[in-house]
């Protein structure tokens, strides 16, 4: 089994988020819960939103923004299987242009 980090990218602008109805938000949360239940054996860490962000460089620390909105970690027999697990995630249908990057996390050399 391998571990895979899913990084959720949001395409919504501020106006899109304001227009998201309470009913649509509730439907999304129910869809997410159903996805999580259907894939509970694969989910290592259900993840969390990615909010306040700091970038650390040799020159210091600064706030930054990007399209990353959340993460999840899953276990699967292959990268392709991890992609299949995440391909059904409701995040992809919440806003046009949303995406999920799936990165393999091999164990450290040892």
Domain that holds residue 71: 2-104
Q: In the predicted model, what is the mean pLDDT of residues 47-68? A: 96
Cα separation, 39 vs 80, whole angstroms: 15
Within a domain: 66 = yes
Within a domain: 109 = no
Which tokens is 105 given?
Answer: 């996390």
Q: Which of 105, 50, 98 is nearest to 82 (CA)?
A: 105
Within a domain: 68 = yes
Cα separation, 38 vs 19, whole angstroms: 29
Within a domain: 94 = yes
Q: What CATH number is associated with residue 93?
A: 3.30.70.1060
Q: In the predicted model, what is the mean pLDDT of residues 3-11? A: 97
Q: How many domains does the chain have?
A: 1
> What digits encode the pLDDT tens for the residues 12-40?
887 777 788 899 999 999 999 999 999 99
Within a domain: 11 = yes
Cα separation, 70 vs 51, whole angstroms: 8
0.75 exceeded by pTM: yes
């Amino acid at each position: 089994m391998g571990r895979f980090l899913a990084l959720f990218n949001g395409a919504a602008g501020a106006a899109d988020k304001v227009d998201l109805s309470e009913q649509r938000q509730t439907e999304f949360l129910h869809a997410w819960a159903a996805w999580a239940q259907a894939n509970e054996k694969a989910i290592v860490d259900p993840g969390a939103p990615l909010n306040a962000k700091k970038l650390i460089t040799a020159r210091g620390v600064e706030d930054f923004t990007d399209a990353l909105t959340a993460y999840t970690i899953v276990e699967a027999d292959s990268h392709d299987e991890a992609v299949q697990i995440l391909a059904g995630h409701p995040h992809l249908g919440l806003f046009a242009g949303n995406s999920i990057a799936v990165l393999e996390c091999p164990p450290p050399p040892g």
